[in-house]
Structure 1
Amino acid sequence: MDDLPTAKRRRKEKEPTNLRSFDPPPRLRPPEYQAHDFAVVPRPPGMQPVMEAEIGQLYSTEEYAYNKRGYRFVPCVPRPSMNALKYTASEAAPFCARMSYEDRNKTHMLLSEDATVVSTQAGFRSARANVFVNEGTWYYEVKILRGNDSELGDAHIRAGFTRREATMEGPVGCDGYGYGIRDVGGDKVHLSRPKKFMDESFRTGDVIGFEITIPRRKNYTLNYFRDRYPIRYKGHLFFEVLDYVPTKPMDELLTPLSVLKKKREGVDHFHPQTIPDSYIRVYKNGRDMGNAFEDLYEFLPPASKFNPPFDKRTFDDGQLGYYPTVSVFKGGVAKVNFGPDFDYPPKNKLVRPMAERYDEQIGEDVALDVVDQVDFEIQDANDQQPPSEPTPALDAH
């Protein structure tokens, strides 16, 4: 296993052409164990104290396997009981719904020790949660510890939901892969276009609640495939995982239609597929402010794509969906609360706290481990079978 691998190893794999949704890619066989693999325990990145926040110390983090364009990283451990897989995903403490160590801006994002408070001393930077929504109705809260307060300088906060393709180098809602609310004016933001929504700002001390609903798809067959390869990096073990990337048609949505029509005369404007009856509802200090967004953009393939030459793969790796996301600006500080104990519990009893997704996701991953183990055992058995002897021709008499 290499330290941080590149796409070169995967490009050596024979990539099938005209890959269809039922035609799985070639399997990446895991390497042999090394003795010290069994001593590795997933752990958070090293933390260096930087600033004091309203609830305690905030830290910058040391070198770690942060997600980058086209690739994401998941902590893993050896699993000898699953001899075909060899390695399975694991978790670093704290073992609960929190902001992700890997899935955030890597240079300027500050975290609390429990990874529920985020801040930055730079311009807008974002962090995603380690839990996501792909179906159902879910809720989380963001408490503004410092933001949109004239006495505190230029500190600002935005929050909402993003897909995996959304950048962490800017605020939520700056592209087509995220939906956010900003503190100034309570505007909603999507495709970098602020629009009136709450008609009132939020600031230090306010609690903003986000409820998201993704209806069950009636005519969609689940089609999971996980392309994961274990790597060693600075004393850690991670899976390197192909990640979904922004596409040109989605990026062009940021261009005003009048400008795009002049550039591409005669070409129809791209209209992303949406999820009917999906929505994001917003609450301010327990008050229902209504639906900020409806008919959210679809995230299931082919709406989500890998980088070439893997863009023909139409697979869900089991972690596609909308992730709670918080953006901070120049000293802004926000604390996420994934439940179950909320400052302003939702009155709708069908709404579930995002905290419950943590255990659900682990269960889903273990179930896919079992499926992959059985599938790979069958593949290995077939590979080990000697070629069959040709049937001798019958002599003619």
Structure 2
Amino acid sequence: MVRATRGVLAGHWYFEIKVLRLGPTGHARLGWATEKGDLQAPVGYDGSSYGYRDVDGSRVHRAQRERYGAEGYGEGDVIGFYLGMPDGERYAPRPPHLVWYKGQRYMYNTDGKDESPKVVPGSEISFFKNGVCQGTAFKDIFGGRYYPAASMYTMPNEPNCEVRFNFGPDFDFFPENFGGRQTPRPMSDVPYHGYDDKVEGPVENGLSEKVN
């Protein structure tokens, strides 16, 4: 899984991914993941990520696939990702403490225990295909800082898979109607928050990722 560097705890947010190439054997799972999502596994593998699958348009969470979209997606399609987290800060886990030891940076919890995730009431994730909403995929998701994420895989010796992230503000298929949902902000508006509390400016667009 690849994951963006800027995430959100609360609010209503949107970004797009264009599927550039999958090849004859390539597949993709695209979506959102927190910092606890396993980078060595596809989106939707664990409880910290939520995915949208290309094969049949199913949704994936905790490695469980469920029927969702009427059809899958493929090369040339633009997928939109909507995240709604009203009052999400109240339900986010406490940030870990940061310490330096012998030139290395370490994170730890003061009580030595991982905090159980809390559900954010009224939260949701929805996916759009070429500007058309596929419906609400997930409701009342766990609190945390969510990042755009993608995972792709193909057979050896096949052409690389490739997708392009578009964090906005200029989108290919920004929906005119979000079906009663609050109009989201583009992910390009999100500043970078490091563990050292350093804040940078908005992200520049045009990130492309290739995976074989």
Q: 1:221 to 1:287 in 2, by over 3 A?
A: closer
Partner Cα separation in structure 2 for residue 222 and residue 179 of structure 1: 18
Q: 1:230 to 1:278 in 2, by over 3 A?
A: same
- Aligned partner of 1:209 in structure 2 is 80
Match of 2:197 among 365, 379, 382: 365
- State the Cα deviation string for residues 166-199 of structure 1 (Å, max 9, x = none): 1111110011111000100100001111111002
Partner Cα separation in structure 2 for residue 192 and residue 223 of structure 1: 26
Q: Unaligned stretches of 5+ in structure 2?
A: 155-159, 200-212
Q: Give 1:133's aligned amino acid.
A: V
How far residue 224 of structure 1 moved from its aligned partner, in angstroms, is 5.8
Q: 1:172 to 1:218 in 2, by over 3 A?
A: closer
- Aligned partner of 1:163 in structure 2 is 34
1:157–1:333 CA contact under 8 A, matched in 2: no
- Aligned partner of 1:332 in structure 2 is 161
2:19–2:74 CA contact under 8 A, matched in 1: yes
Match of 2:13 among 116, 126, 138: 138
Q: Unaligned stretches of 5+ in structure 1?
A: 1-125, 233-238, 251-270, 300-320, 368-397
- Aligned partner of 1:356 in structure 2 is 189
- Aligned partner of 2:65 in structure 1 is 194
Partner Cα separation in structure 2 for residue 166 and residue 156 of structure 1: 20
Q: 1:216 to 1:170 in 2, by over 3 A?
A: same
- Aligned partner of 1:287 in structure 2 is 132
Q: Give 1:296's aligned amino acid.
A: I
Q: 1:355 to 1:204 in 2, by over 3 A?
A: same
State the SS of the aligned residue for 1:227: strand
Partner Cα separation in structure 2 for residue 333 and residue 216 of structure 1: 35
TM-score (norm 2): 0.76
After TM superposition, the structure 1 = structure 2 runs for residues 243-282 of structure 1, keeping only pairs within 5 Å, are 273-282=118-127
- Aligned partner of 1:51 in structure 2 is none
Name which one, 1 or 2, has greater alpha-carbon Rg.
Answer: 1
State the SS of the aligned residue for 1:328: strand
Larger strand percent: 2
Q: 1:298 to 1:231 in 2, by over 3 A?
A: same
Q: 1:139 to 1:333 in 2, by over 3 A?
A: same
Partner Cα separation in structure 2 for residue 185 and residue 325 of structure 1: 19
**Identity among equivalent pairs (%):** 34
Q: Which fold has the larger relative contact order, with Cα–Cα distance below 8 Å and residues 6 or more apart in sequence?
A: 2
TM-score (norm 1): 0.42
Q: 1:187 to 1:218 in 2, by over 3 A?
A: closer
Q: Give 2:146's aligned amino acid.
A: Y
Q: 1:328 to 1:350 in 2, by over 3 A?
A: same
Q: Give 1:216's aligned amino acid.
A: D
2:55–2:72 CA contact under 8 A, matched in 1: yes
State the SS of the aligned residue for 2:191: helix
How far residue 358 of structure 1 moved from its aligned partner, in angstroms, is 2.6
Q: 1:275 to 1:194 in 2, by over 3 A?
A: same
Q: Give 1:334's aligned amino acid.
A: V
